[in-house]
Amino acid sequence: MSELLDNIAGKFLTLYKSSPLLVESPGRVNLIGDHTDYNDGLVLPATINKSINLGLAPNQIHRIRAYSIDLNESVEMNLNHLEKSDKQWFNYIKGIVIELDKIGVQTQGFDIVFGGDIPIGAGLSSSAALEGAVLTGLNEVFELNLTKGEMAKIGQLTEHNHIGVNCGIMDQFVNLHGQQNAALLLDCRSLGFKVIPFNRKDIKIVICNSRVSHNLASSEYNLRRTQCEEGAELLRKYDSKIVNLRDVSFELLEKHKDELATEVYNRCKFVLDENKRVIDASKCLLSSDFLAFGKIMFQSHQGLSEEFEVSCNELNTLVEIAKGQKGVLGSRMMGGGFGGCTINLVEDQYVGNFCENIFGGYKERMGLEAEIYITQINSGAKVLEADLKLP
Ligand code: GLA
């Protein structure tokens, strides 16, 4: 058992005098397809070898007691009086219980201890990992019989109603459905997905953490979503079948370009292009054409930066530095934007140089020390041990 799992079990025994069910729940990367999910579009994410580990066990006292190892903070609340906590991490746990209750699924009291190595607020979906961990744990110990799809939706509703981020379904979905050495080509409308193998030893997924997280991230994120909805609403006048941007064709968008505010047009154009890029990039993956895949990643970054305007100086700098490096096939910002990480596809033999040059170049240009992670694609959230035997 890892040191963290040992820690969790030990802390659980000290705090709650019981032994927990253990869950592992990963962070994610998105190879391509950003800001498409809440437009019912396509995405290509994968779960990685950075995760949250969580211990969970029922208690008989009708309360939630939770402890974060990394922050050394604990919160306790009565299940009948769940309210907003000043500890944001607890709001995810509380939100899940309330959202479950809304669909008629009740839990009894429970205890939690968790920790992990997914950097918080860095665009690797530490929040979806926490949601997936809590839901997987609750599902198991209270035998809730929820499907992974249902759990993903509860996680998403938790973000909407308890955190204030009107996110799409990508992060929660891949957290629960992710597979080892494969990305998921997910249709965010039907929630149907195709497993696309990604297991080339000679190509690495390298993540560069800009170490900035601009605080306009959630308000600008919600604004982008509203702008996309505004575009779809206007175009619906010309085709009543349009529900959202997924249903809009390039032809229709161009025909009515002048009726849309420039910003709204740019947002819509980006989403249509990005959906197409996901399809094209998936075909490249299937035919192992990583050169073409990488080119599409660069195009995606340009669109995110110039048309969707969710990048920032730090992310653009990381991509610019990457672009000039030997062995770099593709690079782009990833996730919601306004800070966080870039994702880079790098030929294995050049990874060492790449890391050095990114670190040095970013420090020189931005005065910041990037964190760099060479990731592997791991499976989605899962129960580790049904019944941990303590000494
Ligand atoms: C965040 C959201 C996702 C998705 C991405 C952008 O990660 O949680 O739903 O919208 O941003 O692709």
Q: What is the pLDDT of residue 199?
A: 86
Residue given tokens 């379904």 in the structure block:
169
Interval between CA 250 and ligand 1 midpoint (Å): 23
Residue 205: strand pairing partners: 345, 375
Give the active site residue among 34, 111, 171, 273. 171
3-state secondary structure of 77: strand
Interval between CA 119 and ligand 1 midpoint (Å): 16
DSSP class per residue in 298-328 = HHHHHHHHHTS----HHHHHHHHHHHTSTTE
* CA atoms of 147 and 127, how far apart (whole Å): 20
Q: Please choose from 30, 36, 37, 130 the residue to mutate so as to test ligand 1's pocket, defined by most ligand atoms within 8 A of CB.
A: 37
Interhelix angle 217-236/262-286, nearest 10 degrees: 100
Our answer on whether the CB atom of 228 is closer than 6 Å to any ligand 1 atom is no
Interhelix angle 313-323/290-306, nearest 10 degrees: 150
Shortest-distance atom of ligand 1 to CA 127: 8
Respond yes or no: is residue 171 known to be catalytic.
yes
Which two structure tokens, joined as six digits, stand for 383? Answer: 């129960």
Amino acid at site 337 = G
Q: Using 50 as the pLDDT threshold, list the residues of the chain that sit under it.
A: 387-388, 391
Q: How far is CA 282 from CA 55, 171, 193, 377, in A?
A: 36, 18, 12, 16
Instruction: Classify burial at 296, counting beta carbons within 10 Å of its beta carbon; exposed 0-12, middle 13-18, buried 19 or more.
Output: buried
Q: What is the pLDDT of residue 3?
A: 93
Which two structure tokens, joined as six digits, stand for 84? Answer: 């907003």
Interval between CA 354 and ligand 1 midpoint (Å): 27
Our answer on whether the CB atom of 40 is closer than 6 Å to any ligand 1 atom is no
Q: What is the pLDDT of residue 390?
A: 52
Q: The pTM is what?
A: 0.96
Residue given tokens 């299937």 in the structure block:
286
Which two structure tokens, joined as six digits, stand for 45? Answer: 């994410």
Q: What is the pLDDT of residue 228?
A: 98
Shortest-distance atom of ligand 1 to CA 35: 12
* CA atoms of 204 and 355, how far apart (whole Å): 12
Our answer on whether the CB atom of 37 is closer than 6 Å to any ligand 1 atom is yes
Question: Are residues 37 and 166 in contact, defined by beta-carbon separation less than 8 angstroms?
Answer: no
Helix (H) or strand (E) holding 99: helix 88-102
Our answer on whether the CB atom of 99 is closer than 6 Å to any ligand 1 atom is no
Shortest-distance atom of ligand 1 to CA 169: 9
Interval between CA 28 and ligand 1 midpoint (Å): 11
Our answer on whether the CB atom of 168 is closer than 6 Å to any ligand 1 atom is yes
Q: What is the pLDDT of residue 261?
A: 98
Of the chain, the end-to-end C-alpha distance in Å amounts to 14
Q: What is the pLDDT of residue 385?
A: 66
Among residues 127, 74, 124, the alpha carbon closest in space to that of 96 is found at 127
Which two structure tokens, joined as six digits, stand for 229? Answer: 């909805």
Our answer on whether the CB atom of 336 is closer than 6 Å to any ligand 1 atom is yes
Interval between CA 143 and ligand 1 midpoint (Å): 30
* CA atoms of 222 and 181, how far apart (whole Å): 32
Rg (CA), the chain: 21
Interhelix angle 126-141/170-177, nearest 10 degrees: 50
Contacts of 56 by beta carbon, 8 Å cutoff, 6+ apart: 20, 21, 23, 110, 111, 112, 134, 137, 138, 141
